A and B are shown apart, each in its own frame.
Chain A
């Protein structure tokens, strides 16, 4: 897996460069490393070759949204907001953590310490 590690403030510029070079935005992956730090992967494709940008961030340092460059990222950024509790300032269509989840799920389910167990309201 080819991945280039960058810092959060290089992100938007790097994406703009990718776009200029004709890369298609594939998706993003977020992984919770520990309670507070997260790894974000940005996947791109050109001529069937995948390239990835990798960066680490923490809960309280928001990463800027890339929807201004790649509008298509709005879904996945919203998804990560829902599932990991991160925020992406500048998100083009911000569901404010309601893309998938309703108020019954209070915590971000993919966070390490969060109540990862199933919400058992009915039981």
Chain B
């Protein structure tokens, strides 16, 4: 591996652009009050990040151990910063008088200090700080590209948002600052090899998350932010505990070595399990979903960036990283079942929601559960499925969040019921949203490709496959319902694209196009990137054949299917264009329809609105009842997992 580094001239530069540059940009934007300049800094940073991440593609795998930053030992810098960060948490805890945060910060500080003491003393192995393989690369690409696109869209969004809230003193600069900070931290997390680094960046994302959730400063926002903070601190604490136990065994905080040293011993598995707990919390798995739901109070770009496409992926990323280490262990199987449960429960709870953002949030939890299930299954097929799911979920979910944000700014509601007939008011946005939904649930799009792989990969694990089968049926319910609502009457057939800022169209458009192109390119993406991830020990499970992916017992002809689907789509579009000439009749209202659309002549000759609302089946899928049950079950699962590790 050492020689790979020497070959890669420029990799350190790229990495510092990816990690350090956003930090600097964040510091730059903070004092800037001019909206123009803010836009400039943000777009520039985004563009640079996109370019850098693309340039990184041919350079994996690599390891890198920078010695110093501005002459100070880099490890010392990071550790110090980590301490500082934890004291900031403590401060927040005191400021808001939040006991849990106080306790957790102190616990973290103490354990970090303990770890430091131990690393300083003893024979101290300096490990490579950064490491990148295709898995990290994919996450870097997601964070940098999707992240930047979201940042672009947040520029017009925040402008409208502040106008809407009638904020007197703009706080946008702070917002952008945190956003950029986050992008750097995100890249940092997925590129860290030294677990100290990992923890530091992990906590930076937690801080960003807190700041962004409480951005609007309303009491509810602050409360939800604090909840996110304590829950994620708990995650950080789990990480630290895991690290301590890793160190006890390895005498190093080296993520790569940890996996290579895979063993079935109890202490090893406990450390892995503890790290996984941290990951579960970051990925908002039950019973820790609360913070993610609360996070929906933040301005929508935040949800798009942190709470669906990138930050929550840190958790599943970590588990995927650790997976080879627990191959064959019962722990791994438990994680699979836990993930499948999260998938099912998330989908079920999403069915009970009419709040668009909450549906997205639950759907995110659900998808992360599926990814976890794949990670836990720990077969090459499952791994492939997990990575496809990460990629496509990031793109499509970001798209959907941005759509909801755009819609919300126009109709002043994020409730699905209020989006009925949106295609009349904002036809293009509605169409884009529907495309997003289609990409969520229909073949040949990537998410379905991932789900297909997942089911075929889980087929031998009965418990998992039953839950996945049920969960995916539930998924169809809430997406189809939403898409139908958007396209409801009154759409007369003429098409007036609504006006939106250029950056909004750009962001939405590029995400839709991205989803489509990536789908068609999926087999080649697979061939180019995935093989690298699957080493060591896994042989590539699929062959690319006839534009599709195939193995001994299944085949998914991506390209042919895409072509056929496109033809079907084109025919339907032609029909649709012609259909503008059909006679439009009023819908069936038992013969009582009036000239006003959707009104009928009710009792006493009074016009009544034929309200038609979706089913949310609150008696079955209502949050109140179901969530308690789910949380209980999840807790039991977690205890089982810990037991399995022991």
* Interface residues, chain A, with chain B CB atoms under 8 Å away: 95-96, 98, 102-103
Chain A residues positioned under 8 Å from B605 (CB to CB): 98, 102-103
| A95-B603, A95-B604 known, 6 other contacts, Cβ within 8 Å | A96-B604, A98-B603, A98-B604, A98-B605, A102-B605, A103-B605
Chain B residues positioned under 8 Å from A98 (CB to CB): 603-605
Q: How near does chain A come to B305, taking the closest CB pair, in angstroms?
A: 55
Which residue of chain B lies nearest to A102 when distances are taken between CB atoms in the complex? B605
Q: How near does chain B come to A105, taking the closest CB pair, in angstroms?
A: 12
Cα A15 to Cα B77 in complex, Å, equals 91
* Interface residues, chain B, with chain A CB atoms under 8 Å away: 603-605
Q: How near does chain B come to A103, taking the closest CB pair, in angstroms?
A: 8
8 A–B contacts, CB within 8 A, in A order: A95-B603, A95-B604, A96-B604, A98-B603, A98-B604, A98-B605, A102-B605, A103-B605
Is chain A's interface secondary structure helix, strand, loop, or mixed overall?
loop
Which residue of chain B lies nearest to A103 when distances are taken between CB atoms in the complex? B605
Chain B residues positioned under 8 Å from A95 (CB to CB): 603-604
Which residue of chain A lies nearest to B603 when distances are taken between CB atoms in the complex? A95
Cα A103 to Cα B605 in complex, Å, equals 10
Chain A residues positioned under 8 Å from B604 (CB to CB): 95-96, 98
Chain A residues positioned under 8 Å from B603 (CB to CB): 95, 98
Which residue of chain B lies nearest to A94 when distances are taken between CB atoms in the complex? B604
Cα A103 to Cα B603 in complex, Å, equals 14
Q: How near does chain A come to B594, taking the closest CB pair, in angstroms?
A: 14
Cα A98 to Cα B605 in complex, Å, equals 7
Cα A5 to Cα B312 in complex, Å, equals 82
Which residue of chain A lies nearest to B606 when distances are taken between CB atoms in the complex? A98
Cα A27 to Cα B7 in complex, Å, equals 101
Which residue of chain B lies nearest to A101 when distances are taken between CB atoms in the complex? B605
Q: Which 4 residue pairs of A and B lie closest in terms of their CB atoms, listed nearest first?
A: A98-B604, A98-B605, A95-B604, A96-B604
Chain B residues positioned under 8 Å from A102 (CB to CB): 605
Q: How near does chain A come to B605, taking the closest CB pair, in angstroms?
A: 5
Q: How near does chain B come to A112, taking the closest CB pair, in angstroms?
A: 27
Cα A122 to Cα B105 in complex, Å, equals 86
Q: How near does chain B come to A100, taking the closest CB pair, in angstroms?
A: 11
Chain B residues positioned under 8 Å from A96 (CB to CB): 604
Cα A103 to Cα B604 in complex, Å, equals 11
Which residue of chain B lies nearest to A96 when distances are taken between CB atoms in the complex? B604
Q: How near does chain A come to B604, taking the closest CB pair, in angstroms?
A: 5
Q: How near does chain B come to A83, taking the closest CB pair, in angstroms?
A: 16
Cα A95 to Cα B606 in complex, Å, equals 10
Q: How near does chain A come to B386, taking the closest CB pair, in angstroms?
A: 61
Q: How near does chain B come to A36, taking the closest CB pair, in angstroms?
A: 27
Cα A95 to Cα B605 in complex, Å, equals 9
Which residue of chain B lies nearest to A78 when distances are taken between CB atoms in the complex? B604
Q: How near does chain B come to A52, taking the closest CB pair, in angstroms?
A: 30
Cα A53 to Cα B212 in complex, Å, equals 75
Q: How near does chain B come to A71, taking the closest CB pair, in angstroms?
A: 17
Cα A96 to Cα B605 in complex, Å, equals 10
Cα A28 to Cα B576 in complex, Å, equals 59
Cα A102 to Cα B606 in complex, Å, equals 11
Cα A96 to Cα B606 in complex, Å, equals 11
Q: How near does chain A come to B272, taking the closest CB pair, in angstroms?
A: 68
Cα A102 to Cα B604 in complex, Å, equals 9
Q: How near does chain B come to A78, taking the closest CB pair, in angstroms?
A: 10
Q: How near does chain B come to A82, taking the closest CB pair, in angstroms?
A: 11
Cα A116 to Cα B255 in complex, Å, equals 97
Q: How near does chain A come to B475, taking the closest CB pair, in angstroms?
A: 45
Cα A28 to Cα B605 in complex, Å, equals 25
Chain B residues positioned under 8 Å from A103 (CB to CB): 605
Cα A25 to Cα B605 in complex, Å, equals 28
Cα A102 to Cα B605 in complex, Å, equals 8
Q: How near does chain A come to B396, taking the closest CB pair, in angstroms?
A: 51
Q: How near does chain B come to A92, taking the closest CB pair, in angstroms?
A: 14
Cα A33 to Cα B605 in complex, Å, equals 31
Cα A30 to Cα B170 in complex, Å, equals 73
Cα A81 to Cα B605 in complex, Å, equals 16
Q: How near does chain A come to B311, taking the closest CB pair, in angstroms?
A: 57
